Chains A and B, each alone.
Chain A
Amino acid sequence: MTPSTRIAILGLACFSFTLAGCGQDRHPSYSTNLRYGIRQDPIVIEPKELGDDRYEPDRPGVLPLMNISDIQKPDHPYHKKKDRLEVALRDPRLLSDKDRESLEKGLEEMFGTPAHPKVDIKAGEGFDPKDLDVLKVDATTLAEGSKLYRVHCLHCHGVPGDGRGPTARWVNPHPRDFRVGLFKFQSIDRTTKDGNAELPASRADLLRTLRQGIEGTAMPSFNLLQDKELQDIISYVIHLGIRGKVEHWILKTNFKPKDGTLEYDQPNEPLSNLLAEYARTLAGYWIAAEASENRIIVEPYPYDNNNLEQIQASVKRGQQIFLAQISPEFTKEHALNVVTRPIVAKRMAEALAKKRESTQDPKAQLTALEKAEAQKLTPAELADAEKVAYTKESLEKAEGKLKGASCVSCHTNYGREGKYRVDTWGTLTRPNNFVMGTFRGGKRPVDIYYRIHSGINGYPMNGFGGTFKGNEEYLWDLVNFVSTLSYPPMRERLAIRID
């Protein structure tokens, strides 16, 4: 072969690279041979053992819990805890071959493969497979979703939704691990008796995250995709969420370490029965997350944004609640509110009764203007109310009931000096710095309301919806205050000082 022929062949080879990708399906599917497989990374059993004393975020290229052998390296953030790892973590790689096979088979029967995903959960214990319709996890939708996921999501969120795709270790905060079955930014009411603690996000919440992205993280906006494409992706994410959590759950509860391996602790119960039981429960959580009664009911915004005095007062109250240093004036106002609220409520009900024609939600019917009108008390009524409210006993009672949220205890110096804390996924994140004006869960007032009302799942941010039940205007005060902080001219206009 002469040198020139060689070069000609090389040139042709280079040219053929430019044709790569031509004429193929735009969203090709996974190979049919690909399996989800059983997870390799350890499960956190005792998060406390890993501790909260890490003080810096992961270095680029490090995922905190990739696998146990990684943690043995001295530059790993959990290296200091290496003696406690056996207690804190469970290593699925210790599964016996037999258990691994039956687990893999059981999961594949229910959830299929990446190329042919399905959610096939058998009926039982009050679970009817038809209930799954609200989650839209039929095989056709999932197959479409799987293709789109492969193109748009896989490189960060990984094939089984483990948040360990090839790019995951280079972005911080790391991508969401769907197998935990929790999502930070959602609108589930967590002030109920059982706390709805296990409920993941609803489809609407996931759609909003996909459309808007998560500001301040590597999660971009996907709002240029068609609505149907986004819906398909959401269905597929739900599928991954249920599958991953079933696997997570059974490894966590039913496999115990023994002599350097993991042993199944229910020898009399076939593994597939347990898997089906867990899948039913988890699918139930996802279905419950769709139910409207589990969503946060947002109380109407009580102020007129064009009324500077009202907003000033609201923001000031917001600051007091934030700092939990409640002034005597606030207590007085609150005591007066306690007296006047029943009068106002009665008046509103009357106004509503006059207007009622349909069986619509009564609150929605009462327009803002009517509400403002109904709230007005005559000076005589106000004087009467003040007489009752400003007695020593009612003031003391009001003071006792009036609680600040003490947001400042975590959002130190309005978040400017917040301390890093570890979330459920093992990522180190800080309470929001409100002066920066980035809200990961969304910038809308109602998004901030959701966060204050029900907290952030998987992060030590508590909800205050319970604390302020019946006094939701204080939640709005907090929303107003918090969204003012990043705008210096507005702080000035509203006479707020944060230095």
Chain B
Amino acid sequence: MGNKFWSILFGVTMVACLVSFAISPWMGWWRPAGISTHAGDVDFLFDVILAITTFFFVLTEAILVGFMWVYGSTPEGKPPVSEKTDVAGFLKPLTNLLNTQHKVELAWTLVPAAILLYIAFAQVETWANIKYETRKQKQQDWSKDGAPLQVGVSARQFEWRMRYPSVERFKKWMEKDALSDPKSATRKDFDSFGKIPQADDIPVVNELHIWQHHQVVCHLSTRDVIHSFNLPNFRVKQDALPGKLIPVWFKTIKPEVMKTYNTKWVAEPGSKPEDKRGRYIDGVNPETGKEADPDFTYDIACAELCGWGHYRMIGRVYVHKDRDDFVAWLEKAQQDHRGPKAESK
């Protein structure tokens, strides 16, 4: 074993890393399917950065292992003194170019700088699309698709407390042109949803309900420490900071593109199939029929170590088929919140 030990150890580690990386898509270790409109851009950046870092990882590790293999076996670890200082033929042009210390240092400064600059400029567009208020509004044509769905998301140790508008207010906002006048009471009510909770809001714990291909704006806040609102499938990750209200938006891709479709049609009891009466239940496994199946809902995770219960700060995203199906759920949630008896007038 002797002095070859270290080169073998490092070589094996590198190969093990590369192999586990190469097989990861088949082992289910790869990133989950991206189903939001900006998932493609985020994934592209991820891939670019991954490619660059992989190249340099392999390069530097190979050199490290190589040098350890060659020089590790010499007595007392000293480099062998050779009369010939020849280098391999293909490296000749490089030695002519980098023939002084000064030039070598310039090279290892400028090359990474160029790469970093490229990454910095490549991500600007994606970042702006995700974070800028002005771009957010471009993503959805309010007059055509309706206003975005607003949800208040308040993190606390160790759960996510969501806040939805009451069915009445929600329906008012969704009416055609209801929000076109920026001075109308409805518009003011809509705009103040994130900042000012109302008594008729519907609180829900750990469940984020949205519907397909519609913009969702989460007004993110925290009641105690820093948490991070992470929706891996939607490529959303935003820290929740004490004292701050941070809007986060995303929109699922079109239903036809979305492969993992997670709602099930349940016909009304006693109705014929051609009546098409009934509703969609979300998070249903089409094979087993199990409702709220973790495989057919999407995760909400906390991505910032927030305390002992960080690991269990998990929520679920349910994607409904359309707005009507969402409203059916919202009505149910409202009834549950107000209590069956308290509902009567």
**Which residues of A pack against B, CB within 8 Å?**
4, 8, 167, 211-213, 215, 218, 220-221, 223-224, 298-301, 303-306, 367-369, 371-372, 437, 443-447, 449, 483-484, 486-490
B308 to A490, Cβ gap below 8 A?
Answer: no
* A306, B192: Cα distance in complex, Å: 20
Contact (A484, B338) CB under 8 Å given A220-B309, A301-B343, A372-B345: no
Q: Which of A167, A299, A304, A443 contacts B345 (CB 8 A)?
A: A304
A167 near B341: Cβ-Cβ < 8 Å? no
Q: Could you tell me the distance between the alpha carbons of A304 and B1 in the complex, rounded to whole angstroms?
A: 86
Once A167-B308, A490-B198 are accepted as A-B contacts, the answer to whether A4 and B206 lie under 8 Å apart by CB is no
CB distance from A345 to the nearest CB of B (A): 16
Contact B341 A300 (CB under 8 A): yes
CB pair A487–B196 under 8 Å, yes or no, is: yes
Beyond A301-B341, A301-B343, 4 additional pairs, beta carbon < 8 A: A215-B161, A305-B200, A446-B339, A487-B197
**Contact yes or no, A212 B205, CB < 8 A:** yes
Q: Can you name the residue of chain B whose Cβ is closest to the Cβ of A439?
A: B203
Contacts of B312 in A (CB 8 A): 220
A211 contacts which chain B residues (CB < 8 A)?
205
Complex contact A305–B345 (CB within 8 A): yes
Given A301-B344, A487-B196, A487-B199, residue A223 in contact with residue B337 (CB < 8 A): no
User: Complex: how many Å from CA A65 to CA B192?
Assistant: 47
In the complex, the chain A residue whose C-beta lies closest to that of B340 is: A446
Give the residue name and chain of the A residue nearest to B161 (CB): A215
Chain B contacts of A490 at CB under 8 A? 198-199
- Check B157–A218 contact: CB distance below 8 A: yes
Given the complex, which residues of A lie within 8 Å of B207, measured CB to CB?
A: 223
Closest to B297 in A: A224
Contact B345 A484 (CB under 8 A): no
Q: Mark B70-87, 1 if CB is under 8 A from A, else 0.
A: 000000000000000000
Q: A484–B201 Cα gap in the complex (Å)?
A: 12
Contact A223 B196 (CB under 8 A): no
User: What are some 30 contacts across the A-B interface (CB < 8 A)?
Assistant: A4-B5, A8-B9, A167-B308, A212-B205, A215-B161, A218-B157, A220-B158, A220-B159, A220-B309, A223-B205, A224-B316, A300-B342, A301-B342, A301-B343, A301-B345, A303-B345, A305-B345, A367-B344, A369-B345, A443-B337, A444-B342, A445-B338, A445-B342, A446-B338, A446-B341, A449-B339, A487-B197, A487-B198, A489-B198, A490-B198
> CB-CB < 8 A to B315: which residues of A?
224
Contact between B205 and A445, CB atoms less than 8 A apart: no
- Cβ contacts under 8 Å, B339 to chain A: 298, 444-447, 449
In the complex, chain A residues whose CB is within 8 Å of the CB of B168: 306
Separation of A437 and B200 alpha carbons in the complex (Å):
13
Nearest Cβ distance between residue B254 and chain A, in whole angstroms? 29
- Contact at A368–B345, with CB atoms within 8 Å? yes
How near does chain A come to B147, taking the closest CB pair, in angstroms?
20
Nearest residue, chain B, Cβ from A215: B161
What is the bound-complex CA distance between A304 and B158, given in angstroms?
A: 37
Q: Chain B interface mostly helix, strand, loop or mixed? A: loop
In whole angstroms, what is the CA distance A304 to B312 when docked? 41
- For A213, the chain B residues whose CB sits under 8 A away are 159, 205
Say if the beta carbon of B327 comes within 8 Å of chain A.
no
Q: In the complex, A218→B161 CA distance in Å? A: 14
How many angstroms between the C-alpha atoms of A393 and B157 in the bound complex?
A: 58
If over half of A's interface residues share one DSSP class (helix, strand or loop), that class is named, otherwise mixed; here it is loop
Listed residue (B192, B200, B338, B341) with the most chain A CB atoms within 10 angstroms of its CB: B341
State the B residues within 8 Å of A (CB): 1, 5-6, 9, 157-159, 161, 168, 192, 196-200, 203, 205-207, 308-309, 312, 314-316, 336-339, 341-345
B residues near A369, Cβ cutoff 8 Å: 345
**CA A368 to CA B342, docked complex, whole Å:** 10
Closest 9 CB pairs of A and B: A446-B339, A368-B344, A221-B205, A298-B341, A304-B345, A368-B345, A300-B344, A301-B342, A445-B342
Tell me the minimal C-beta distance from B302 to chain A in angstroms: 12
Check if B1 sits within 8 Å of A298, measured CB to CB.
no
Do residues A224 and B206 form an inter-chain contact, with CB atoms below 8 A?
Answer: yes
A458 to B203, CA, bound (A): 27
Distance between A27 CB and nearest chain B CB, rounded to angstroms: 14
- Whose C-beta in chain B lies nearest to the C-beta of A490? B199
CB distance from A447 to the nearest CB of B (A): 8
- Whether A223 contacts B206 by the Cβ 8 Å rule is yes
Contact of B206 among A221, A305, A487 (CB under 8 A): A221
In the assembled complex, the CB of B3 is this many whole angstroms from the nearest CB of chain A, namely: 9
Q: Which residue of B lies closest to A443 (CB)?
A: B203
Contacting residues, chain A, for B343 (C-beta < 8 A): 301, 368
A437 touches B342 (CB 8 A): no
Q: List B contacts of A447 (CB < 8 A).
A: 339
- In the complex formed, the residue of B with least CB distance to A438 is B223
Q: How far is the CA of A367 from the CA of B341 in the complex (A)?
A: 11
Residues of chain B contacted by A489 (CB below 8 angstroms)? 192, 196, 198
Chain A residues with Cβ below 8 Å from B309 are 220
Contact A444 B344 (CB under 8 A): no
CB-CB < 8 A to A212: which residues of B?
Answer: 205
Expressed in whole angstroms, the minimum distance between the Cβ of A67 and any Cβ of chain B is: 24
Which of chain A's residues has its CB closest to B308's CB? A167
Give Cα A222–Cα B308 distance, bound, in whole angstroms.
16
Using known A-B contacts A215-B161, A489-B198, determine if residue A371 contacts B344 with beta carbons closer than 8 Å. Answer: yes
Residues of A within 8 A of B158 (CB): 220
Residue of A whose beta carbon sits closest to that of B205: A221
Q: Is A449 in contact with B342, judged by CB distance below 8 angstroms?
A: yes
Contacts of B1 in A (CB 8 A): 4
Q: How far is the CB of A388 from chain B (nearest CB, A)?
A: 28
Q: What separation, in Å, do the CA atoms of A444 and B9 have in the docked complex?
A: 61
State how many angstroms separate the Cβ of A442 from the closest Cβ of chain B: 9
* Closest chain B CB from A371 CB (angstroms): 7
Residues of chain B within 8 A (CB-CB) of A306 are: 168
The distance from the CB of B178 to the nearest CB of chain A, in whole angstroms, is 17
The answer for the CA separation of A444 and B340 in the assembled complex, in Å, is 11
CB closest chain-B residue, reference A366: B344
From B157, B197, B316, contact of A437 by CB (8 A): B197
Nearest A-chain residue to B344, judged by Cβ: A368
**Residues on A with beta carbons closer than 8 Å to the beta carbon of B341:** 298-301, 446
A218: B residues at CB distance < 8 A = 157
Per the bound structure, the CA–CA distance linking A449 and B339 in Å amounts to: 11
- Which of B5, B6, B205, B336 has its CB near the most chain A CB atoms (within 10 A)? B205
Question: B338 near A444 (CB under 8 angstroms)?
Answer: yes
Contact partner of B199 (CB less than 8 A), chosen from A8, A215, A367, A484, is: A484
Contacts of A167 in B (CB 8 A): 308
Interchain nearest-CB distance for A205 vs B (Å): 14
A359 CA / B1 CA spacing, docked (Å): 90
- Give the Cβ gap from A446 to chain B, nearest Cβ, in Å: 3
Report whether A298 and B342 are in contact in the complex, using a CB–CB cutoff of 8 Å.
yes
Q: A8: which B residues are within 8 A, CB to CB? A: 5, 9
In whole angstroms, what is the CA distance A428 to B341 when docked? 34
Residue of B nearest to A487 (CB): B199
Tell me how far the C-beta of A184 lies from the nearest C-beta in chain B, rounded to whole angstroms: 19
Identify the closest chain A residue to B203 (Cβ). Answer: A443
CB-CB under 8 A from B338, the residues of chain A are: 444-446
The CA of A367 and the CA of B344, in the complex, are separated in Å by 7
Q: How far is the CA of A299 from the CA of B344 in the complex (A)?
A: 10
**What residue in chain B is nearest A298 (Cβ atoms)?**
B341
The answer for the CA separation of A232 and B109 in the assembled complex, in Å, is: 63
**Central interface residue in B9, B312, B344, by most chain A CB within 10 Å:** B344
Could you tell me the distance in whole angstroms from the C-beta of A8 to the nearest C-beta in chain B? 7
Complex alpha-carbon distance, A489 and B169, angstroms: 15
